[in-house]
Structure 1
Amino acid sequence: MGSSHSIEDEKRLIPSETWGLEGGFWNVRASFKVKSILEIGTHMSIIRLQNGKFLVIDTVPLDPRLKEEFDQLTNNGKDIEAVIATHPFHTLAFPAFREAYPDAPFYGCPRHLRTQPELKWEGEISQHLCRWKEDVEMRIPAGCEYVAPVPEASNHFVSVWVLAKKQKCVHVDDTLNYFADPNLLMKVAGVHKEELMFHPSMKGPGLYPTPEAPEQFKQWVLKVIQEWEFEAVCTAHRDILPRGGRQKLAKALNAAEPLFADLKKRNEKGGVAQKEDGGSAQYNVEGCECG
């Protein structure tokens, strides 16, 4: 049986840490600190399906207030359709979430199934990308490693992209970053205000070291821009882009053209991936995990 909550009830239930859209989409922003100092943030999205149940995309630590709100929304978890892990290295909040909701079906990336078998995964998400196609589209980027990204400390580029079709919102983890108001250090590093950009590991190990990989990824993103209708983009670390997502993604793709050309030339010469990754490894919170 699906949830009986009205949209007005759901508006009342969402916590202050949550950003929402009409029609049943919520993105929960949670604190996540590197070395207990540097706040990088993390996120979880909740999508209300046509059957009244909810898809949970990624997980965050559940403080008492958030859990209470979530339980009210999902009928104490009974209305969870599935919990989906979209990023190989976003793992840390899933054990507690499994303990809180032992009956919810969990779907993960291959690395989740390898490293956290005790969570009793229902399956690997790439085998279920079309399962909720009436409400949600999911795609995995081309030109990069999804099954076993290496080096694990820094190759955090790939993640499953999720489109909430009715709400016109994309949930994506590390492949994209968005900075609404970067601090001085970020500005010195070349980050611009309200700029959507690709994860810095694209310069290094993010894409396959083949001449074809940059073009494969570029064409994949171009197809997303052409085929997906969306305005908002929710990125894991940093901020939410509330509108103009397709246009800003197209701008980011255009800005990356020189890098794609350089990567192709490097790979044609048989070059290995640069060690440069934008310092992404230093943002890991525990071991190789960044969320």
Structure 2
Amino acid sequence: MGNQSSAVVVEKRIKEIGKNFFNIRASFKIKGLINIGTHMSLIRLSNGKYLVIDTVPLDEELKKEIDELTNNGVDIEAVVATHPFHTLAFPDFYKNYSSASYYGTPRHIRNQKDIPWAGNIMDHLNKWSPDVEMRIPAGAEFVAPVPESTNHFNSVWVFSPVAKTIHVDDTINYFDNPSLLFKVLGKKSGQMDFHPSMTNGGLNKTETAPQLFKEWLENLLHDWDFDNACCAHVGVKIGGAHALVNETLTNAQGVLDKLAKKHEGKEEEHTHH
């Protein structure tokens, strides 16, 4: 009995968010100090295999959990990169799970030559439908966003209809339990925002980009019936996520109007979408 009372319940790192949809939260520190968090998701496909969305640094405990879920990685069908700048964990993940097919953003494919990429994710957005749907926001650069240090707005949005869950990297941020720093910056628990780079090059500097993005997101909200949103920074919104994304878009209307006015007369040059 004595042994039992001292047993420590270790909380699982892999959390089931919805049916066949698992999310892992991990630490990611800016300049080694400010933890803004990062994440990856695993979606069990109807064939029983797993689609891995993004990667996070592996430690022994996390690798063990992934191995248990995926039959030591044998059941990982593919690994998808959704964000041009979420790159650091991919090489190590590939070393551990090299039998899967890897699909990168154009920037991954340019910069990480050690991974034998199976393709550019832009060409494979429908590869796993209807189990998984993917879309890339309009009105924003995806192939080569600049400046690289700050323009982290655009990323592939991933939707699992059966789990009613979306996985999004930087385009939207959700603060489930803001740290002291975020509270100082005015973030409240339960708040959702667009990535701050939206107003500083995240959306293309053209008159039409804000409207293109707004229409893209309105169409997505019309087509995707989701309840939960797993966001790279800073948390997961369980339940009510659809209404909150809609509200976030409504609240941004003034900002979008200002951007359109600021870039009046400038036309779209990008035809990537």
TM exceeds 0.5? yes
Query: 1:170-189 alignment to 2 at 5 Å?
Result: 170-189=166-185
2:261 aligned with 1:265 = yes
Moved over 4 A (4+): none
What amino acid is aligned across from residue 194 of structure 1 in structure 2?
A: G
Aligned 8 A contact 1:176 1:197 in 2: yes
| Residues in 2 aligned to 1:139 and 1:19: alpha-carbon distance in whole angstroms | 24
Relative distance call for 1:61 and 1:152 in structure 2 (3 A) is same
2:83 is matched with which residue?
Answer: 87
| Residues in 2 aligned to 1:262 and 1:22: alpha-carbon distance in whole angstroms | 38
2:65 aligned with 1:69 = yes
1:23 is matched with which residue?
Answer: 19
1:256 is matched with which residue?
Answer: 252
Aligned 8 A contact 1:15 1:66 in 2: no
1:144 is matched with which residue?
Answer: 140
Relative distance call for 1:253 and 1:22 in structure 2 (3 A) is closer
Match of 1:209 among 205, 221, 224: 205
Aligned 8 A contact 1:56 1:84 in 2: yes
Deviation (angstroms), 1:174: 0.3
Instruction: Specify the SS of the correspondent of 1:20.
Output: strand
1:278 is matched with which residue?
Answer: none
2:100 is matched with which residue?
Answer: 104
Aligned-residue CA RMSD in angstroms? Answer: 1.6
Instruction: Specify the SS of the correspondent of 2:140.
Output: coil
Deviation (angstroms), 1:35: 2.4
Deviations 1:99-128 (A, max 9, x none): 011111000100000001211100000101
1:226 is matched with which residue?
Answer: 222
Deviation (angstroms), 1:36: 2.3
1:125 is matched with which residue?
Answer: 121
What amino acid is aligned across from residue 65 of structure 1 in structure 2?
A: E
* Structure 2: stretches of 5+ with no match in the other structure: 1-9, 267-273
1:199 is matched with which residue?
Answer: 195
| Residues in 1 aligned to 2:104 and 2:11: alpha-carbon distance in whole angstroms | 26
1:237 is matched with which residue?
Answer: 233
| Residues in 2 aligned to 1:68 and 1:186: alpha-carbon distance in whole angstroms | 32
1:43 is matched with which residue?
Answer: 39
Relative distance call for 1:73 and 1:181 in structure 2 (3 A) is closer
Aligned 8 A contact 2:50 2:76 in 1: yes
| Residues in 2 aligned to 1:19 and 1:74: alpha-carbon distance in whole angstroms | 14
1:6 is matched with which residue?
Answer: none
1:167 is matched with which residue?
Answer: 163
Aligned 8 A contact 2:165 2:226 in 1: yes
* Structure 1: stretches of 5+ with no match in the other structure: 1-13, 271-291
Aligned length: 258
Deviation (angstroms), 1:15: 6.1
Could you tell me the percent identity over the aligned residues? Answer: 51
Deviation (angstroms), 1:196: 1.4
| Residues in 2 aligned to 1:218 and 1:147: alpha-carbon distance in whole angstroms | 20
Deviation (angstroms), 1:159: 0.3
| Residues in 2 aligned to 1:15 and 1:22: alpha-carbon distance in whole angstroms | 18
TM-score by length of 1: 0.85
